[in-house]
Homo-oligomer: A and B are copies of this chain.
Amino acid sequence: MEGVGVDHLAFERKKSQFDVDAMKVVWAGSRHAFEVNDRISRLVASDPVFHKDNRASLGRKELFKNTLRKASHAWKRIVELRLTEEEANKLRFFIDEPAYTDLHWGMFVPAIKGQGTDEQQKKWLPLATKMQIIGCYAQTELGHGSNVQGLETTATFDEKTDEFIIHSPTLTSSKWWPGGLGKASTHAVVYAKLIINGKEHGVNGFIVQLRSLEDHSPLPGITIGDIGMKFGNGAYNTMDNGVLQFDHVRIPRDQMLMRVLQVTREGKCVQSNVPRQLIYGTMVYVRQTIVSDASNALSRAVCIAVRYSAVRRQFGSQDGGPELQVIDYKTQQSRLFPLLASAYAFRFVGEWLKWLYNDVTQRLQNNDFSTLPEAHACTAGLKSITTSATADAIEECRKLCGGHGYLCSSGLPELFAVYVPACTYEGDNTILLLQVARFLVKTVSQVASGKQPVGTTAYMGRLEHLLQCTCSVRSVEDWLNPSVVLEAFEARAARLSVACAKNISMAANPEDGFAELSADLSEASVAHCQLIIVSKFIEKLQQEIPGGGVKEQLNVLCYIYALSLLHKHSGEFLSTASITAKQAALANELLRSLYTKLRPNAIALVDAFNYTDHYLGSVLGRYDGNVYPNLYAEAWKEPLNDSVVPDGYQEYLKPLLKQQMTSRL
């Protein structure tokens, strides 16, 4: 995307066999999306306030202050340039630094929109969208994360004063983790157990003011702070994840979010006619964005590793010529190219999830809840496997960059540290897989009783066939058939689910059986979700895709994605007899030739992500491949190099070198 100076990777770009500009549009999802991304990312890259220099070596206080500065500048630009909501979101995205505004716009505002009544929205949204208040989302507690129903914070209705009393009865009930809470937020949506007349009514959301709008000091009864350093340099340490305790804090009754459940003046609980299922619709939305983010983070890591693998040379020089580019080693290709393919695969399944969300939303509006369980299971599973795979892939890309990948200037350590929380937030990945498994086991039993499964579980409708079919592959080329690949994945997924269901049914009681078999169940869920991704990639290829050579490249990527999974999970494909050992070997052979096919296009395929050097934030991943002089220059920015002789020499090194202390050594 950059265009000045010598391009050290020009020879690679000349090799490519497809229309990169057309691929950029495919990657972005539409010409419009491409255009917005391109424009906003350049806008951010050219603004000195948004520079990312030395973020890794700043102390926590400077780091946090700098984030406040960027966030306030971002808002200024959003206002000055009169950006649309889409553009503003992109601006925050390309600034590429977690900030309290993420939670304000991404959780606080949506919570009010989704759970507030019309009056509540009318009151609070204008304040929030003008940023006259800053809000966060205070759910997780020190003692409770995944188990939301176990939250200990209480909201007790006081009929005398028409107020709720928000209280933290134990240490473990302290709110803990909410981003933006520690230092920046003035308000929060606080989740607490509703108690009326000594009776519990489940966990609900309450809008609570935390800090004075005059001087930002915490209001009486509120203890608030930052929970301390987190993984990585920079990374999420730009965020003020917070701790919060309430000592009988009173709020007016109308600050409970009452779209679904209302508490009357008399302290009666009244269910509104708004369906509770709406919450699941929101979950589908949030998880869809997480899957898209996975493809962003993964593509970014892959872009860095692919470019650097083309720059880096090691071994293989005969007769004094240049050494071999490490990207030409099969070991490098067999680790790197499946990740490149995964980036595209996650992109397309993320796109499809947008469609799914719209579909679910429309149905909900028509009171059709029939597809909700399937959509919920599907998004839960895809969230789980794409985020886990992406976290692992970023670290793999770092290792593929050899020693230099360990430097912060490679961008990869920070990308890893800032990404990994995605495996835990919005549903711990392990727990999500078990939710999927529960749905799969249920689907198996429903199919047995004649019910037709829908959506991504539709294949279960052909259970009889899938349990006895055999794979027809006899030659390497036979694998180049989407329906053959698909059926192998369907057979594996179906057989694992059915085996689990059978084993559970043999247990003394189903719950114990489910618990005992939970590791197997997780594997069945993964198989099911990988099938979804493979099938959506194949569906994408059945659409028309403009641009010379674009479809051919996507085809190669699709087979690499599917067959590398088949290789990695060959134990399951073989143990379920979905394929034979011979067929696995043929798939492996095909995979090697696909790597060779992909090789000349590797650089262009990461160029198609259209990332600025600013966004990439990596010396190793520079567009122009001019790595070494810039690594060298980067080193001299290190604060420790401010002086030739280090601080501490006089006190701790000189005495050592001079005193000639004698030891027994």
Q: Which B residue sits closest to A129, measured CB to CB?
A: B665
Closest Cβ–Cβ distance, residue A85 to chain B (whole Å): 5
B142 touches A664 (CB 8 A): no
Q: Across the interface, which residues of B come within 8 angstroms of A169, CB to CB? A: none
B225 touches A638 (CB 8 A): yes
**A interface with B by C-beta (< 8 Å):** 56-61, 64-65, 68-69, 71-72, 75-76, 78-79, 82-85, 88, 129-134, 140, 142-147, 150, 171-172, 174, 177, 182-184, 186, 213, 215-218, 224-233, 236, 240, 243, 313-315, 317, 323, 329-332, 334, 395, 398-399, 402-403, 406-409, 413, 417, 420-421, 423-425, 428-430, 434, 515-520, 522, 567-577, 581, 584-585, 588, 592, 628-629, 631-632, 634-642, 644-649, 651-657, 660-665
Closest Cβ–Cβ distance, residue A184 to chain B (whole Å): 6
Select which of B329, B413, B424, B574 is within 8 A of A402 by beta carbon: B424
* 9 A-B contact pairs sorted by A residue (CB < 8 Å): A79-B663, A184-B653, A228-B634, A229-B408, A230-B407, A231-B233, A399-B420, A569-B571, A570-B574
B229 touches A652 (CB 8 A): no
Q: Which B residue sits closest to A649, measured CB to CB?
A: B216
Q: Across the interface, which residues of B come within 8 angstroms of A72, CB to CB? A: 651-653, 655-656
What CA separation (Å) do A226 and B638 show in the bound complex? Answer: 7
Known: A142-B628, A571-B573. 15 other contacts (CB 8 A): A60-B640, A64-B648, A69-B651, A72-B652, A134-B656, A144-B314, A172-B628, A174-B632, A177-B403, A216-B654, A226-B635, A226-B641, A228-B637, A231-B398, A571-B571
Closest Cβ–Cβ distance, residue A437 to chain B (whole Å): 10
What CA separation (Å) do A402 and B429 show in the bound complex? Answer: 10
Q: Across the interface, which residues of B come within 8 angstroms of A147, CB to CB? A: 314-315, 323
A628 touches B143 (CB 8 A): yes
What CA separation (Å) do A182 and B581 show in the bound complex? Answer: 53
Q: Which B residue sits closest to A414, measured CB to CB?
A: B231
Q: Across the interface, which residues of B come within 8 angstroms of A417, CB to CB? A: 232, 413
Q: Which B residue sits closest to A78, measured CB to CB?
A: B663
A69 touches B648 (CB 8 A): yes
Select which of B226, B572, B646, B665 is within 8 A of A64 by beta carbon: B646
Which of A129, A581, A584, A661 is most buried by chain B, counting CB atoms within 10 A of its CB?
Answer: A661
| Known contacts A653-B72, A663-B130: A632-B142 contact under CB 8 Å | yes
Closest Cβ–Cβ distance, residue A573 to chain B (whole Å): 8
Select which of B406, B430, B634 is within 8 A of A331 by beta carbon: B430
Q: Across the interface, which residues of B come within 8 angstroms of A130, CB to CB? A: 660-663
A61 touches B640 (CB 8 A): yes
A142 touches B649 (CB 8 A): no
Select which of B233, B407, B654, B660 is within 8 A of A233 by beta carbon: B233
Q: Across the interface, which residues of B come within 8 angstroms of A88, CB to CB? A: 663, 665
What CA separation (Å) do A299 and B9 show in the bound complex? Answer: 44
B519 touches A330 (CB 8 A): yes
A78 touches B665 (CB 8 A): yes
What CA separation (Å) do A217 and B568 show in the bound complex? Answer: 54
Select which of B227, B403, B428, B576 is within 8 A of A638 by beta carbon: B227
Q: Across the interface, which residues of B come within 8 angstroms of A59, CB to CB? A: 57-59, 639
Select which of B79, B85, B182, B515 is within 8 A of A661 by beta carbon: B79
Which of A395, A577, A653 is most buried by chain B, counting CB atoms within 10 A of its CB?
Answer: A653
Closest Cβ–Cβ distance, residue A154 to chain B (whole Å): 15
Q: Which B residue sits closest to A186, measured CB to CB?
A: B657
A56 touches B229 (CB 8 A): yes
Q: Across the interface, which residues of B come within 8 angstroms of A573, CB to CB? A: 571
Closest Cβ–Cβ distance, residue A115 to chain B (whole Å): 20
